[in-house]
Amino acid sequence: MPFISVRDVSKVFANGVQALAAVSLEVERSEFLSVLGPSGCGKSTLLRLIAGLSEPTAGAIERPGSRADIGFVFQEPTLMPWATALANVALPLRLRGMAKSEREQRAASALEQVGLVGFEHSWPRELSGGMKMRVSIARALVVEPMLLLMDEPFAALDEITRHRLNADLLELWQRNNVTVVFVTHSVFESVFLSQRVTVMTSRPGRVGSELAIAALYPRSDAFRTSTEYVGYCRQASALLAAAMAE
Amino acid sequence: MRPRFAAPVLLGILMLALWEGAVRAAAIPPYILPGPLTIAETLVADWSTLLASLLVTLRITLEALAAAVVVGGLLAVLFSLSRWLELSLFPYAVILQVTPIVAIAPLIIVWANDVELSLLICAWLVAFFPILSNTILGLRSVDPNLLSLFELYGAGRWRTLVHLRLPGALPYFLGGLRISGGLALIGAVVAEFVAGTGGNASGLAWRILESSYQLKIPRMFAALVLISATGIAIFLLLTLLSHLLLRHWHESTLEIER
């Protein structure tokens, strides 16, 4: 029994644009899956459908738990500029009606998990791009999600910060036993992070080929320069090129 | 003193000195153009009358501004909650805004049947639109991803309004408030000109009219100085309020290091 199953899902927007055509996808419990594809191939639409933020035009999506068990991380940090880091992280709990002291305690421990001890009372504009993204990840983790949906979260960051956050994300994934669906347009990122890479084609978005990344965890920075890594990157690039040529 | 303050103050002193010098050199009579010193003397001599009038104008201005905040803010929130309400009512708000206040003031004075109330209505009519339109813009300018997040975690319309739309609209509202502060004063003064009524409870506009009838031009200038000073004070106070509320987070309060 897969954890999430997406069966023959199509999505046509009100303006007539078909974003997804008969997409089928299965995600196992505790899996780290990357969805790799060019910009505008409907990857974000697929995430929104899985989250239940939008309804498929055809097909069905099955996933356990409610929407409250999902952590969602966007491409931008998407923080409320008028709230401190702590208040931003505590937001999902606040909307759930949790008492102030408890939600702040949990938010503080989520900030600790992403390495931001001491920044609880900082305002978003005082934080760097990487730190804002960490706050955003802490906000997704604070609900103790069963499922973490990430929509190109590190695309806007510099490479040094991105590599650091990649490593930290893997550590969080292993520690929290959470299922991750990670959307990216970076071949290197998808190979470094995931157990499995699904390649999507564009206009309309379809799920094409798949690649299992059998490399062991924990994956350190040394993995990035290994021949194993380079080999997987080559394979994933070929799949992506083939998907885009279709 | 920083150049930001020093430059305009020095320029002001220079202009006043030139003015005084020109009036003396050309021996212009005070009923044509009084010099700044004469105006200052009049301000002191007529202080009790002018102060009473200033308080009347100030009261009408502040009451109109308060009414504009309440009505403009509430309408904006209602419009953001109901698209139909906005589609039906907003065009009428625009009509009120584009109709010159001097053209409808006589009607309002006839209908209200009370001078102070009609002045208040006029000032409010001029002042409420910037607050309304700015707040509507702010309530709409919400990050769509944050909206998705609120939806994901089951926040209804009300909590989305309180925790997301209202704080996001605050800078826009404050921008509208700064415009409305000045407009409320202008509305109060213009309406009093149109009403043209004297008596004990008359504001600064009436003092100006009265001075012109009696050819007390220095007093006219003194009243004018008070109106300007009031406008500047309102603007500075609202700017300070805006800074205090936004200093931690809004881009407008950022000081860029050079």
Tell me the pLDDT tens digit for each residue of A109-122: 999 999 999 999 99
Identify the three-state secondary structure at position B240.
Answer: helix
Task: Determine the average pLDDT of the residues in B208-237.
Answer: 94
Judge whether residue B258 has pLDDT over 60: no
Is B170 within 8 Å of chain A by CB? yes
B249 vs A70: CB contact, 8 Å cut-off? no
pLDDT for B201 equals 67
Identity of the residue in A53, A68, A125 whose CB atom sits nearest the CB atom of B249: A125
pLDDT for A243 equals 87
Is A242 within 8 Å of chain B by CB? no
> What is the residue-wise DSSP string for chain A?
--SEEEEEEEEE-TTS-EEEEEEEEEE-TT-EEEEE--TTSSHHHHHHHHHTSS--SEEEEE-SS-GGGEEEE-SS----TTS-HHHHHHHHHHHTT--HHHHHHHHHHHHHHTT-TT-TT--GGGS-HHHHHHHHHHHHHTT--SEEEEESTTTTS-HHHHHHHHHHHHHHHHHHT-EEEEEES-HHHHHHH-SEEEEEETTTBEEEEEEE--PPSSP-GGGGGSHHHHHHHHHHHHHHHHHHH-
Structure confidence by residue, pLDDT tens digits, A162-179: 999 999 999 999 998 899
Question: How far apart, in whole angstroms, are the C-alpha atoms of residue B20 and residue A150?
Answer: 71
Domains of chain B listed by start with CATH number: 38-246 (1.10.3720.10)
What Rg value do the Cα atoms of chain B yield, rounded? 23
- Are B129 and B96 a contacting pair, CB within 8 Å? yes
For residue B19, the surrounding DSSP H or E stretch is: helix B3-25
Task: Determine the average pLDDT of the residues in A70-93.
Answer: 96
pLDDT for B113 equals 81
Q: Would you tell me which residues 109-148 of chain A have a C-beta closer than 8 angstroms to some C-beta of chain B?
A: 123-125, 143
Judge whether residue B218 has pLDDT over 90: yes
The residue to which tokens 């806007």 are assigned: A156
Which of the four pLDDT bands, split at 50, 70 and 90, describes residue B96? confident
Structure confidence by residue, pLDDT tens digits, B138-157: 999 999 999 999 999 999 99
Of B10-19, B38-47, B77-86, the range with the lowest mean pLDDT is B77-86
Average pLDDT of chain A to the nearest whole number: 93
Task: Determine the average pLDDT of the residues in A16-34.
Answer: 93
Identity of the residue in B149, B159, B249 whose CB atom sits nearest the CB atom of A81: B249
Share of chain B above pLDDT 90, in %: 75
Judge whether residue B190 has pLDDT over 60: yes
Domains of chain A listed by start with CATH number: 4-65+146-245 (3.40.50.300), 80-143 (no CATH)
Query: Which positions in chain B touch A51 (Cβ < 8 Å)?
Result: 152
Full-model pTM: 0.90
For residue A207 the two structure tokens come to 């799920």
pLDDT for B198 equals 57
Judge whether residue B227 has pLDDT over 60: yes
pLDDT for B200 equals 55
Which of the four pLDDT bands, split at 50, 70 and 90, describes residue B253? confident
Is B150 within 8 Å of chain A by CB? yes
pLDDT for A225 equals 93
Q: Provide the H-helix boundaries in B161-255.
A: 166-195, 204-213, 217-246
Task: Determine the average pLDDT of the residues in B155-163.
Answer: 93
ipTM score for this prediction: 0.93
Is B213 within 8 Å of chain A by CB? no
Query: Which positions in chain B touch A91 (Cβ < 8 Å)?
Result: 149, 153, 163
